[in-house]
Structure 1
Amino acid sequence: MADTLVKICGLQDVEVLKSMKRLPLDYIGFVFAPSRRRVTPVQAAELVAELSAWEAGKAPGAAGVFVNPGLEELRELLATVPLDVIQLHGSESAAFCREVKQAFPQVKVWKAISVAGTSQAGDSDGNDNVVSYAGSVDALLLDTYDPQGSGGSGRTFDWGQIPVFQAAAEAHGLPLFVAGGLHPDNVTELLEVYSPDGVDVSSGVESGGIKDLDKMTSFVERVKQS
């Protein structure tokens, strides 16, 4: 079984990023949507430049988090910031995701699917959601429904809904990431019960709104040892 991929999202500070260089991470996320973790293209370019000096194996990929961007916005940003992943967290349609893939073939496209906090939607919705994006994206990410649409809620959803999405994603060859309220004390349970392809964490490895190296280290160790 392949190692579970780890993405730490919401990096803003170069010194914090430098402190993380010994962590075996797969992706680092930079938020371009309205958020307290939002970075400018210039800030992001400085942060991404630090990834080339990573000390723990292969340098992590750079993922940009967007909510309902336009193609021109993405084009302008990619001219400044060399992203590996465009992560779409809004109401972007499958048709728009295809447009993004065609416009930027060198960049992977991930689509976040919002999941209700409790199981209310019924099994078919999970399957239909995945099927609608099959062929239009490179990966899917489950996150807790956020009415503000700010690119992440920091709360968990009902994990009992994961298997429906997981089965559909696997049938279409799509990696499935899980986000939403993850932290060092609950990620092991998620991995043992559901074995997603990847996990995405932000606020769960912070103290006082700042990325905490001890929490990040603990999170990554628990994922990679599971």
Structure 2
Amino acid sequence: MAEALVKICGLQDVEVLKSMKRLPLDYIGFVFAPSRRRVTAEQAALLAAELSGWETGKAPGAAGVFVNPELEELQELLAVVPLEVIQLHGQESPDYCREVKLAFPQAKVWKALSVAGSGQAEGAEGQSIVDSYAGTVDALLLDTYDPQGSGGSGRTFDWGRIPLFRQAAARHGLPLFVAGGLHPDNVGELLRDYSPDGVDVSSGVESSGVKDIAKMTSFVERVKQS
């Protein structure tokens, strides 16, 4: 199996980003949705400029996290920030994802799917949802259902549901990422038992709400050793 990809999300500080340049990361995430980690286009542009000269070789791609954005918002932001990934974390429909993909062919489109109770995507329904996004996105990301829709809950979901989504995604050749409550002490178990194509972490590598280089290093090491 190919080595899992790693995305660290919610970067806000240039100095913190500079401290991460020795980590073999695949993606760095900037949050543009309402959140305490939200950054402006101008802040993100400064952060994205730091992605050049990465010490481990290929620089990580810049991913922007959005919740139900208007196309105009995306247009204005991508004119300032060179995003490699547009990550849609709201209730964006397959048709809307297709619109985004056509409007911004230079970027990949990832769609987050909510997993948990309250009648959210699971089982056969989850497979049907995966099928509906086939051909409209470049990857799918499973995250814990958040009733506030803020683009990330920081809590795990029932990983036993992953295989159904993975099977459906594999049928369409879609990479499957997992997020939600990940941290250095549980990511190895996730990779060993469920083999997602990638993992996405934010609060699990923070201390007192700030990205912690020791936790980030430990997280990446656990992923790359799995």
Determine if the TM-score, normalized by the shorter chain, exceeds 0.5.
yes
Partner Cα separation in structure 2 for residue 174 and residue 144 of structure 1: 19
- The answer (yes or no) to whether the contact 1:67–1:89 under 8 Å persists in 2 is yes
Q: Cα distance 1:142–1:120, how it changes in 2: closer, same or farther (>3 A)?
A: closer
The residue type equivalent to 2:149 in the other structure is G
The residue type equivalent to 1:221 in the other structure is E
- The answer (yes or no) to whether the contact 2:183–2:204 under 8 Å persists in 1 is yes
Q: Cα distance 1:35–1:122, how it changes in 2: closer, same or farther (>3 A)?
A: closer
Deviations 1:74-122 (A, max 9, x none): 0000000000000000000000000000000010000000001599865
- TM-score for both structures, normalised by structure 1: 0.98
Deviations 1:119-175 (A, max 9, x none): 986521110110010000000000000011111000000000000000000000000
Match of 1:160 in 2: 160
The residue type equivalent to 1:209 in the other structure is G
- TM-score for both structures, normalised by structure 2: 0.98
Structure 2 residue runs of 5 or longer lacking an equivalent are none
State the identity %: 81
RMSD (Å), alpha carbons: 1.2
Kindly tell me the number of residue pairs found equivalent between the two proteins: 226
* 1:84 maps onto 2:84 in alignment: yes
The residue type equivalent to 1:152 in the other structure is G
The residue type equivalent to 2:126 in the other structure is G
Q: SS state of the match for residue 114, structure 2? A: strand
- The answer (yes or no) to whether the contact 2:113–2:121 under 8 Å persists in 1 is no
Deviations 1:34-83 (A, max 9, x none): 00000000000000000012111200000000000000000000000000
User: Where do 4+ consecutive residues of structure 1 move more than 3 Å?
Assistant: 117-122
Match of 2:32 in 1: 32
The residue type equivalent to 2:53 in the other structure is A
Match of 1:149 in 2: 149
- The answer (yes or no) to whether the contact 1:118–1:157 under 8 Å persists in 2 is no
Partner Cα separation in structure 1 for residue 188 and residue 119 of structure 2: 22
- The answer (yes or no) to whether the contact 1:119–1:160 under 8 Å persists in 2 is no
Structure 1 residue runs of 5 or longer lacking an equivalent are none
- The answer (yes or no) to whether the contact 1:26–1:61 under 8 Å persists in 2 is yes
Match of 2:41 in 1: 41
Q: SS state of the match for residue 53, structure 1? A: coil
